[in-house]
Structure formats: C-alpha cells, structure tokens
Structure 1
C-alpha cells in the first residue's frame, strides 16, 4: 500500500516537474523577437486582417488602417492598465519622431475601452496615432503569432506588407531601430 502511494506521488511529482519545465521555457522565451520566415501565407493573412480590422479613433469615429498599406508600419498593441505598455510609450514616441522622416508610421492599437484610452491620453502624450480595437485587438494580435495574448506586443511591417519582426513584451529601442534601419 505504501509502495502505491510512493509510486503515485512520484508520478505526480514528475508531471509537475514537466509542467514546470514547459512553463519556464515559455516564460523565458516570451520576450524573444520572432522572425517571420516560415508560413508566409499565414502572415499575409494577419496583415490583411490588420488592414480590414474595425478600429475607431479615440473620439469614437470609425477609422481604416488600410490607409497604411504601402508604408512601413510599427503596430503596438497595448492597454492603459498594462504597466510595461505605459513604460515603453515614451521610447516608442521618440523613435516615431526619429523615423517619421523615413516614412515609417507608428500606430497604437488599444486593447482596451474607449473611455480608458481617452482618460489615459489626457495624462500621457503620444507622438503617434492611437486607435481603439477593444478586446477584439487580442484576436488580431494572435493572428500575428501572439498566442499568449500578452501585452505589449509590437509588429513591424515593411512597405510590401511583409512582417519583419514581432516582439512580445517591452521593446528594446536599439533592436527596434536596427529592424527599422533595415527596412
């Protein structure tokens, strides 16, 4: 009887250890940049979904992201309640100012309510357009490979509509600039 308990305990311990290894692997790699060389069709679909996504301006007016087609774009998924999102906004604004002359447009997609985003933007000034996606923005981010649904999540798309990089977690300004310089 004690042997069965020990064996059952060992099985449970092994299962827990395996789950811990998988979880650690996920969390240690969650901030890694992802290059998009594989599955080009899936990624083209994500870009097409972005152009067709229903978004509104912060004052509730319907907008179309399709106006960004043909231009290099940095899309940042964020929310007002996301600490790392808020922390990286000054760096994103500064990089937007630096790269605007190269025709690179930054866009913030708020995975949040219109009311929360409006209140946030009265306190924090951002140098790029902010649009409201609501919680449907999480589905759009998943189309770009953000299966964890975490924020912030940043996507760089070149003028041809190819995804050049994604970043789950706060951006590294130097790495982002390196990607933008290669466009």
Structure 2
C-alpha cells in the first residue's frame, strides 16, 4: 500500500515537472518577455532596489551597484549552472567591448553562490564586472517583470534610470545592439 502511494506521488510529480519544463520552453521559444524599448514606469522601484542590492565580488567582498547610477547599463542575471546563460556570455563580452567607448556599462549578477561564480570565472574569464547576488537575485529579477523566474534575464537601463528593455532568455545581439544604439 505504501509503495503504491510513493509510486503514484512520484508519477504525479514527474508529470508536473514535465509540464513546467514544456511551459518554460514554449515561453522562451515564443521570444521570451521582450518589453518595448520605451521607458517603462512600472519597474522604477526595481531600479532603486538594484542600486541598493547587496552584492559581492567572487571573493566575497561587498560591492556597490550604486556606482553604476547615472550610466546606461546592461544588467544580466545569470547562473553558472544555466546553459543558455553560459552560451550568451561571449556575445555579452563582445558587446561590452564594443559599447564601452560609448559609456555603456555591463554587469553580470550571479544568481548563484560565490563559490560557484568564482570557480566559473576561473574557467571562463569575462571582461565585464560579475558580482554575486545569490538566490535573492531571483526576487530582484521579478521586480523587473521576470515573473517566470527564468534565466538568463537581461535588463537595459538608461542613464536616467529608466528601464529601456528586458529580455527573458538568451539575448539576440542585433536586438540588444538596436536598444543600445538608442541610448
């Protein structure tokens, strides 16, 4: 009797997990959650939360995102265990090099542990600042409209602190360039 209950529970859990994976995959393949490039008033509180968010570098030393205030910035929420996050990093690094001369900052926020981020950065060097925000970073991403809680999630903020675009899923370099060219 107990075995049947365990097997039935496991079966229901597998079906629910499969439905969740399918729904997430469908949402990402439908283009993610691209937000119009006009300034978005709703996430202004999210921008304030971003500037105040407690982050550390990969060595665990506290850092301040408020130093980015007043600059256009691309914020990429990622994790070392997220395949699409890792795949898009070379594109983000290339765009960082291309747009640095225009004063556009890039920052990676690891929704991960400092140990995992440090190990990852030792294997895959990234030429823009990468900080650890921990698993609380998912709450901050939700404040920007990422209700699915998926990664990667990218936010573009202009120098005035207005959210210009958000993207759930891997960035498309040409789409991101278009947004950055309007800043």
- Residues 79 and 85 in structure 2, CA contact (< 8 A), matched pair in contact too: yes
Per the normalisation by structure 2, the TM-score is 0.83
Provide the rounded CA distance (Å) in 1 between the counterparts of 2:137 and 2:78.
Answer: 9
Provide the rounded CA distance (Å) in 2 between the counterparts of 1:117 and 1:24.
Answer: 24
Cα offset, 1:101, TM superposition? 0.2
Task: Give the 3 Å change call, closer, same or farther, for CA 119–25 of structure 1 in structure 2.
Answer: closer
Mark the runs of 5 or more structure 1 residues left unpaired by the alignment. Answer: 1-18
Provide the rounded CA distance (Å) in 2 between the counterparts of 1:71 and 1:46.
Answer: 16
Cα offset, 1:39, TM superposition? 6.4
- Residues 40 and 164 in structure 2, CA contact (< 8 A), matched pair in contact too: no
Q: Which residue of structure 2 aligns with residue 164 of structure 1?
A: 164
Cα offset, 1:29, TM superposition? 3.6
Deviations 1:53-103 (A, max 9, x none): 000011111111001000000000000000000000000000000000000
Cα offset, 1:157, TM superposition? 0.2
Cα offset, 1:127, TM superposition? 1.2
- Residues 39 and 162 in structure 2, CA contact (< 8 A), matched pair in contact too: no
Provide the rounded CA distance (Å) in 2 between the counterparts of 1:145 and 1:85.
Answer: 18
CA-atom RMSD in angstroms: 2.1
3-state SS of paired residue (2:136): helix
Instruction: Say whether 1:47 aligns with 2:47.
Output: yes
Q: Which residue of structure 2 aligns with residue 14 of structure 1?
A: none
Q: Which residue of structure 2 aligns with residue 64 of structure 1?
A: 64
Mark the runs of 5 or more structure 2 residues left unpaired by the alignment. Answer: 1-18
Cα offset, 1:24, TM superposition? 8.5
3-state SS of paired residue (2:91): helix
Q: Which residue of structure 2 aligns with residue 75 of structure 1?
A: 75
After alignment, is 31-40 or 58-67 more displaced? 31-40
Provide the rounded CA distance (Å) in 2 between the counterparts of 1:33 and 1:61.
Answer: 33
Cα offset, 1:106, TM superposition? 0.3
Query: What is the correspondence of 1:13-162 to structure 2 with a 5 Å cutoff?
Result: 23=23, 27=27, 28-29=29-30, 31-35=32-36, 40=41, 42-162=42-162
Provide the rounded CA distance (Å) in 2 between the counterparts of 1:88 and 1:39.
Answer: 25
Count of residues in correspondence between the two structures: 162
- Residues 40 and 163 in structure 2, CA contact (< 8 A), matched pair in contact too: no
